[in-house]
């Protein structure tokens, strides 16, 4: 296939639209089902690069959940605890390593992942297809699909689920191009390799960086490589738990990602796990209601009997004190930034979400203040010297 004609571009008025190889070669993909659109393919190709690099860097199966050309979540195929199985709604399924990877990626920020594009580093198996089958998703890209998985996925969205197979051996050309306002930009593609050698320049007093922390920092940095900048990523236990994308200010990235990481951890609070949902409430409504329950507006939103739409009885609120006490238990979180931190306020915010390890380029005129703030809290920070802007 030399080209694939799209229904339209980013918006319905942007016609005609297609994807094709600039040098008249064959596209490295095969559309097995559905008709992916312009934004679908942007998500597909960015997410595929992310999971391919995660697999190469760690040797583990990887998955990503993309929305509007940024990851809502990315993860490795590590086993899930019983609590994570519950908050990811997969406690009734058999899970392969690849299925665990997608459940983690989808579970990082379930509200943002609603209607996502999924990417899988390995051939999609039956177990992963079963996880995908129950979620609201636009499509998936993988290097292949078992017959059982393909049969399951082809039934999604009334038979119109987008399924894309990509050649895992495809390597793009070194130079890439982009047209903006009729003007062509050319640059070398970002082929920087991210591995644990990037964490050798530890600039803080605390230099104890565990292998698990190095793994999580790699997850964060590879995720950032394909996240719209400015961006910051919190990671723990082999998965992103909070991604702050496309913010003009670094502190806003840190706050946004930190707030998402807090929600991820608060979803594991005993009060949240014990919420008395009505049996007829589906996963999307449960996700929205849980976020509402965790928020400060809970009493206002579910006042005057509105709670009866979701619960068999009105739950006791999760107080601000209870939330803070629970979040204070969170430690061992890794944080990556796609550019340097200009002020120590980013460290102050990160600490509130349990960050113990940081990787960032360094190079700010206030590096000494940022390092000093890390030292105040015993945080380990490495300067990797690599900026990861993505636009």
Q: Is 31 helix (H, G, I), strand (E, B) or coil?
A: strand
Cβ burial, residue 92 (10 Å; 0-12/13-18/19+): exposed
d(Cα 153, Cα 150) in Å, to the nearest integer? Answer: 5
User: Helices marked H in 23-174 — which ranges?
Assistant: 38-58, 82-87, 97-107, 126-133, 147-153
Which is nearest to 171 in space by CA: 25, 61, 4?
A: 25
Q: 23 an active-site residue?
A: no
Half-sphere exposure in the Cβ direction for 260 (13 Å, CA): 27
Which is nearest to 207 in space by CA: 384, 385, 378, 386?
A: 378
Active-site entry in 67, 225, 269, 390: 67
d(Cα 186, Cα 58) in Å, to the nearest integer? Answer: 31
Q: 13 an active-site residue?
A: no
Which is nearest to 140 in space by CA: 159, 130, 153?
A: 153
Q: 178 an active-site residue?
A: no
Which is nearest to 328 in space by CA: 266, 272, 375?
A: 266
Q: 201 an active-site residue?
A: no
d(Cα 386, Cα 373) in Å, to the nearest integer? Answer: 21
Active-site entry in 33, 40, 230, 384: 230
DSSP letter at 378 equals: T
d(Cα 108, Cα 66) in Å, to the nearest integer? Answer: 11
Active-site entry in 68, 126, 154, 352: 68
Mind telling me the catalytic residues? 67-68, 230, 391
């Amino acid at each position: 296939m030399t080209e694939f004609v799209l229904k339209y571009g980013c918006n319905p008025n942007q016609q005609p639209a297609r994807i094709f190889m600039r040098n008249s070669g064959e596209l490295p993909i095969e559309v097995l089902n559905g008709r992916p659109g312009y934004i679908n393919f942007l998500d597909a190709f960015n997410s595929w690069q992310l999971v391919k690099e995660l697999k190469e860097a760690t040797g583990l199966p990887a998955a990503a959940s993309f929305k509007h050309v940024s990851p809502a979540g990315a993860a490795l195929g590590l086993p899930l605890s019983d609590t994570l199985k519950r908050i990811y709604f997969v406690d009734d399924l058999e899970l392969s390593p690849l299925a665990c990877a997608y459940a983690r990626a989808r579970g990082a920020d379930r509200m943002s992942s609603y209607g996502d594009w999924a990417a899988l580093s390995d051939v999609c198996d039956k177990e992963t297809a079963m996880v995908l089958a129950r979620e609201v998703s636009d499509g998936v890209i993988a290097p292949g699909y078992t017959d059982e998985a393909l049969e399951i996925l082809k039934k999604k969205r009334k038979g119109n689920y987008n399924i894309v197979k990509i050649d895992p051996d495809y390597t793009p050309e070194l130079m890439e191009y982009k047209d903006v306002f009729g003007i062509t930009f050319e640059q070398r593609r970002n082929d920087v390799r991210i591995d644990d050698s990037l964490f050798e320049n530890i600039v803080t007093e605390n230099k104890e960086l565990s292998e698990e922390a190095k793994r999580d920092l790699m997850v964060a940095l590879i995720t950032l490589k394909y996240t719209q900048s400015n961006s910051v990523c919190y990671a723990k236990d082999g998965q992103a738990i909070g991604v702050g994308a496309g913010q003009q200010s670094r502190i806003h990235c840190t706050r946004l990602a930190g707030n998402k990481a807090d929600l991820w951890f608060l979803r594991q609070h005993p009060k949240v796990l014990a919420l008395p949902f009505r049996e007829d409430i589906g996963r999307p409504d449960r996700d929205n209601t849980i976020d509402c329950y965790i928020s400060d507006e809970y009493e206002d939103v579910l006042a005057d009997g509105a709670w009866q739409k979701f619960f068999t009885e009105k739950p006791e609120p999760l107080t601000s004190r209870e939330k803070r006490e629970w979040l204070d238990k969170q430690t061992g979180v890794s944080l990556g930034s796609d550019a340097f931190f200009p002020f120590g306020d980013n460290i102050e915010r990160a600490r509130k979400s349990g960050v113990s390890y940081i990787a960032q380029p360094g190079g700010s005129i206030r590096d000494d203040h940022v390092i000093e703030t890390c030292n105040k809290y015993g945080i380990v920070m490495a300067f990797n010297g690599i900026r990861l802007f993505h636009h």
